[in-house]
Each structure stands twice: as structure tokens, then as C-alpha cells.
Amino acid sequence: MARSPNCTGAPLFKGRVDVTISYPDPDCEKFDDNPLALPSSEPTDAQVSYTVASKHMPVWSHELNHVKTAVLYAAGRNNSASSAKVYYRVLKNGANVATGSGNSIPAGYLYSGSFPLFFDVQSGDVLSCKLWAEGFDLRRTGVYVYPTRIKAGTPIVADFSLEWNAQGFMYGEQTAGMFSYWACCPSISNTPIAEYYNAFAKWLARYSHPQWGLISTWVGDQDKGATISASGATTYHAFQSPRITRISYTPLNLRV
């Protein structure tokens, strides 16, 4: 066994960690044939509301220390004769999180709203969104929970590899090809580790940052910006982080 030069005879390497993460089917509601008209002023009750439950949670083969974040989705159509925008109010457990409005949506276009505003969600949290606009409807809603700030038990690891699935999934086939803001990023930077359509990355060694861990996602963690934008005539967007599906590394018994 190799020995650490800065330790007192303890083994340099610990046992290999190899963890898989699987995800439930997206919790997505589609009511294209019976859309809900949006009111022209703020409604009393949220039209989009999900209670985070175990059915939303990623399943780990061996759970590493991490934080869960969530994105709420809402999409529909501008049925008016002119371009207009949608206003929103996002709430967590009934408390205000954010307000705003997105890009102007051309007449006849679908719009897609993504609200990655729920860092550190827990089972039982109620995530909701109110929408209002002139001449718009609501056709699809959804929620997606995923891990970020995944940490190793030691500050330094070797032979770190990461696998992920970057395919859009929230709205099924209508999401494909136009879906996503990507992102896995280095621990303390928002520089992409690879293009989102790659599915594998490897490092000789990696630092498990006290805050950001081995790996943290962009959407829903470092980027908590809501978006509502036009998405075409038949396709919806769902800005999402790629789903990390496997993490493996060898912990190093080094002090830093």
C-alpha cells in the first residue's frame, strides 16, 4: 500500500467509491386539450403547486453528502393577437421567493417558464407559482428535484469520474432538441466542464470544496434565475441541469 508523505503511516488510498444515482419519472402534468386560462391580474391561489415527496427524490446506491435543489415548470400559449409577457410570483411554503416577468411572447407562440429557485428543498416543502397575463393559457406544469454540492468524505480524491444524462425529459418528446440550459461545473467556478451533450468527464485528482463539493450544478444552485421565454409553435423548453448518474473516485488520505 502506498504511504502518504504527510501522514504517519496511514494508507494513502482508501477504498474506491462508486455511486450510481437514478431518477424517478418526471412529475409532469399535460393538459394541452383543456388548457387553463390565465387571469389578467394576480390570482389568489397558485395555479402551479407541488409538494415535494419521496417520489420526486433521486435514488442513490450509496448516498453521498449533498443538497437537493428543485425547478418548477409552467408552460402554455399566447392566444392573443399581439405580443405580451407573463407575470409570475414564486412561493415556497407560502412565502414569497421571487417575482418578475419574462421575454415578450409573440402571438400564437408557446411559452415556457422555468423557475430554478428552490435551493435546499426537503420532503414536505410546497413549491408553487402564480401566473397572470392578458390572453394566455397554461398547458403544462412540472417539478424536478436533483442533487448539487455533492461532497466526498475527504478533501482530495483521485481518479474522479462523472457520468450524466443531458437529455431533456420534463415534457417528453416535445422537449427534445430544445430543452435545456446545461450544467455541471467545477467546484468554485461556473466554467463548464464539458459541453452539455457530453456524458462523461474524468479528472486525475479533484478537491472537494467545503461549500461546492466535488461537483455542483449550475441551474438551481449557482444560477437561480427564472426564465419565461417563447419556445415556438409546438415545442416546450425546460431549463434543467443534466442528471448526474454515476460518481466514482478514490479518496486520498491527505491533509490540506
Candidate residues 34, 54, 96, 191; the one interacting with other proteins per rule CB under 8 A = 96
132 near other proteins, judged by CB under 8 A = yes
* DSSP three-state, residue 173: helix
Candidate residues 46, 52, 71, 97; the one interacting with other proteins per rule CB under 8 A = 97
- In the complex with other proteins, which residue's Cβ is closer, 28 or 226? 226
* Direct distance between the N- and C-terminal alpha carbons of the chain, in angstroms, rounded to an integer: 21
> Residue 2 has what DSSP assignment?
-
Candidate residues 65, 82, 93, 99; the one interacting with other proteins per rule CB under 8 A = 99
102 near other proteins, judged by CB under 8 A = yes
Whole-angstrom distance, CA of residue 23 vs CA of residue 244: 9
- In the complex with other proteins, which residue's Cβ is closer, 114 or 250? 114
Whole-angstrom distance, CA of residue 87 vs CA of residue 228: 9
Query: CA nearest 131: which of 107, 151, 155, 105?
Result: 105
Candidate residues 53, 67, 98, 158; the one interacting with other proteins per rule CB under 8 A = 98
Whole-angstrom distance, CA of residue 49 vs CA of residue 25: 18
Side chain identity at residue 209, one-letter code: H
Q: Which stretch binds other proteins (CB under 8 A): 53-61, 82-90, 155-163, 199-207?
A: 82-90
Residues 6+ apart with CB under 8 A from 40: 132, 133, 134
* Beta-ladder partners of 128: 49, 91
What part of residues 14-43 is at the interface with other proteins (CB under 8 A)? Answer: 41-42
Candidate residues 14, 85, 209, 246; the one interacting with other proteins per rule CB under 8 A = 85
Considering the complex, what minimum distance in angstroms separates the CB of residue 220 from other proteins? 14
154 near other proteins, judged by CB under 8 A = no
- In the complex with other proteins, which residue's Cβ is closer, 110 or 166? 110
Considering the complex, what minimum distance in angstroms separates the CB of residue 93 from other proteins? 13
129 near other proteins, judged by CB under 8 A = no
What part of residues 208-247 is at the interface with other proteins (CB under 8 A)? Answer: 224-229
Contacts 24+ apart (CB under 8 A), 33-37: 35/76, 35/77, 35/137, 35/138, 35/139, 36/76, 36/137, 36/138, 36/139, 37/136, 37/137, 37/138
146, three cell numbers: 436533483
What part of residues 180-209 is at the interface with other proteins (CB under 8 A)? Answer: none
Q: Which stretch binds other proteins (CB under 8 A): 26-34, 99-107, 213-221, 233-241?
A: 99-107
Q: Which residues bind other proteins (CB under 8 A)?
A: 41-42, 85, 87, 89, 95-104, 117, 132, 224-229
